[in-house]
Amino acid sequence: MFRSLSFSRQILPVAALIGVAIAAWLIFAGLPDRSAAEPAEQPPKAVGKLANEPRVAGAGIVEPSSEVIDIGSALSGLVTDVRVRPGDQVGKGQVLFTVDARAVRAQLAQSEAAIGEARTAIAEASAAQKTARAQLALYRSLADPAAVSRAEVIRAEGEEAAATSRLGLARARLAAAQAAAAAARTEIDRLTVRAPIAGEILAVNIRPGEFVSTQGGGNSSPFIQMGQTTPLHVRVDIDENEVARVALGKPAVISPRGAAELHVHATFVRAEPQVVPKRSLTNSAAERVDVRVLQLIYELPASDAFRVGQQIDAFIPAKPAPKATAAAKKGS
């Protein structure tokens, strides 16, 4: 019996350790190989002349030289026709899409009918006014005042006044009908959405038969996006801590994200006047998002390597390091 207890005390702890080891092996064996699934991200590298010179690195995004223009509708309604597709080149004023204008055209027809009625009323009132004035002038020109009764004169004066009043009312109705017709024509024109500039269609998010609203409805996407893509620009974010080092006005080396061999030299266009919170993210694990950046705009040369919305790496020449003053040298 004592031998059995001694055997149990020796074997059970060993069996437990073996079980724990097997369980641990199974757990770790089932985990994915992170070294294979998630290779270490290589930081962008400067190329060419800037590889050995002071520089400031930045990240950015490709955009049209006009920036992206979001096209909406001034009035709500059903889309009747969409006349463009992504990639189309359009001219300024070219029709992009149309919204159902039948209700507004009916209003225009009513206004035009009211214009016709008002003009007829004006002609009738003008004729009556002319007749009444001629009759009244005749009565007043008679040498013998007793030839016409006072009642006849009063009646002629009343007819002249009534005709003048009807003429004024008809003219007011004509003006109102003309204004309503002009407003209807304006709305019809606004229901035909045209390109505000010449450029390329980047996205089309509406289809014939869909209802569009001036408030955007439940869809926050713009109906159509377009912009001038010749030339393309890049918007580069520079950390506010690095802004003082940037040599503004100098060309920058730009390459698509992860493709430094496709680098080009871009021309400086402008620096935005404000430092703003960073919005363009690179999805890098080491990226800081709680920073403010200065946005620099550069013009890209003609190249098939860049598309609107594409992320890029940028390297910009840095200002020369300030030389130490004589006093500083002496003190050292």
Asked if 137 contacts 153 with a C-beta cutoff of 8 angstroms, the reply is no
Tokens of 260: 């430094």
pTM above 0.85, yes or no: no
Average pLDDT over residues 62-71: 95
The answer to the question of residue 323 being in a domain is no
In terms of domains, do 133 and 120 share one? yes
Classify 55 as helix, strand or coil: strand
Q: CA–CA separation, 201 vs 69, rounded Å?
A: 10
pLDDT tens readout for residues 113-137: 999 999 999 999 888 888 888 877 7
Name the maximum alpha-carbon separation found in the chain: 162
pLDDT tens readout for residues 262-318: 999 999 999 999 999 887 665 555 556 678 999 999 999 998 999 999 999 999 999
Q: CA–CA separation, 88 vs 167, rounded Å?
A: 55
Q: What is the pLDDT of residue 147?
A: 64
Q: CA–CA separation, 308 vs 96, rounded Å?
A: 20
Tell whether the model's pLDDT for residue 235 goes beyond 50.
yes
Q: What pairing do the DSSP bridges indicate for beta strands 77-82 and 211-212? A: antiparallel
In terms of domains, do 159 and 147 share one? yes
Q: CA–CA separation, 224 vs 82, rounded Å?
A: 10
Summary mean pLDDT of the chain = 82
Q: CA–CA separation, 278 vs 194, rounded Å?
A: 33
In terms of domains, do 113 and 185 share one? yes
In terms of domains, do 133 and 186 share one? yes
In terms of domains, do 212 and 247 share one? no
The answer to the question of residue 324 being in a domain is no
The answer to the question of residue 149 being in a domain is yes
Asked if 314 contacts 236 with a C-beta cutoff of 8 angstroms, the reply is yes
Asked if 247 contacts 271 with a C-beta cutoff of 8 angstroms, the reply is no
The CA-CA-CA angle for residues 145, 147, 152, to 5°, reads 85
In terms of domains, do 15 and 130 share one? no
Q: What is the pLDDT of residue 271?
A: 95
Instruction: Please return the burial class of 135, using the count of CB atoms within 10 Å of its CB with bins 0-12, 13-18 and 19+.
Output: middle
Q: CA–CA separation, 170 vs 124, rounded Å?
A: 9
Asked if 248 contacts 236 with a C-beta cutoff of 8 angstroms, the reply is no
- The span from the first CA to the last CA of the chain, in angstroms, equals 87
In 84-100, which positions are buried (b, 16+ CB within 10 angstroms) versus exposed (e)? Answer: beeebebeeeeebbbbb
What range defines the domain where residue 213 resides?
Answer: 70-99+193-226
The answer to the question of residue 329 being in a domain is no
In terms of domains, do 129 and 260 share one? no
Q: What is the pLDDT of residue 316?
A: 94
Q: How many helices (H) does the chain have, and how many strands (E)?
A: 5, 14
In terms of domains, do 153 and 274 share one? no
In terms of domains, do 234 and 210 share one? no
Tokens of 47: 């190329």
Total number of domains constituting the chain: 4
Amino acid of residue 160: E
In terms of domains, do 202 and 255 share one? no
Asked if 199 contacts 64 with a C-beta cutoff of 8 angstroms, the reply is yes
Tell whether the model's pLDDT for residue 27 goes beyond 90.
no
Q: What pairing do the DSSP bridges indicate for beta strands 252-256 and 311-317? A: antiparallel
Higher-pLDDT residue of 198, 6? 198
Phi, psi at 322, each rounded to 5°: -65, 135
In terms of domains, do 217 and 179 share one? no
Count of Cβ atoms closer than 10 Å to residue 69 Cβ: 17
CATH number for 251: 2.40.30.170
